[in-house]
Amino acid sequence: MIRNGELIQSLKDGKDITTQERGEMADNPDTLEEEENENPFAPHLQKNVSITRQPENEWLDDIEYAVFHYRQEAKGLEWKGTAWLEKSTGIPVKIHFQTDEIIKDENSAMKGMSGAILFQHDSPLDWYPLKIKYKMDIEWKLNFFYTFKGKVENLVSLSEYFSFH
């Protein structure tokens, strides 16, 4: 769990590894920022996010959601996406995001990434990403004759890993 940019607790396979993780974060202070590039709610990225509210709200399972479209600059990339927030509480429920070409050199390219983040909340002030799903289009030029093209999908499930207050 991270609160205000400080690691409060980290568990792995049920064991407390907070001290070890704090040491790794101290050695590499960009760790948190690198892991959150696509999260427009990350406090340290707010200055780089622009939003437009969708005029109509959306309903699902008797809950009304305010919908926002956003653009975000992070680590030299432009991310764009949509965020759904519970209208009554302002708690984020999910975001969809995408970016175009990420990496390109003479032998490889990541042509784009898209995904979604589902959020969990214990209270209006205690919410965090629960699941993150990524899809990436990649291309590796093995030699003059062979090029590998593919898609990579990744689903990450988190348990009280991040907490924003």
Interatomic CA distance for residues 72 and 47, integer angstroms? 9
Q: Quick one: average pLDDT of 134-140?
A: 83
Contact 101, 107 (CB under 8 A): no
Domain assignment present for residue 13? The answer is no
The answer as to whether 124 is a domain residue is yes
Long-range contacts of 143-148, Cβ-Cβ distance < 8 Å, separation of 24 or more = none
Assigned domain for 22 exists: no
pLDDT tens sequence across 70-129: 998 877 778 899 999 999 888 889 999 998 767 666 666 777 888 998 888 777 667 777
Whether 43 maps to a domain, the answer reads yes
Number of domains, the chain: 1
Q: Which two tokens stand for residue 165?
A: 């207050």
Asked if residues 89 and 48 have their Cβ atoms less than 8 Å apart, the reply is no
Query: Does 5 map to a domain?
Result: no
Look up the pTM and report it: 0.65
| Chain centroid, CA 128 distance in Å | 11
Provide the domain limits for residue 113: 36-157
* Percent of the chain whose predicted confidence (pLDDT) is above 90: 16
Asked whether residue 10 is domain-assigned, the answer is no
pLDDT digits (tens, 9 = 90+) for 10-20: 767 777 887 88
Using CA atoms, how far apart are residues 65 and 151, in angstroms rounded to an integer? Answer: 32
Q: Is residue 165 part of a domain?
A: no
Top pLDDT among 105 and 130 is at 130
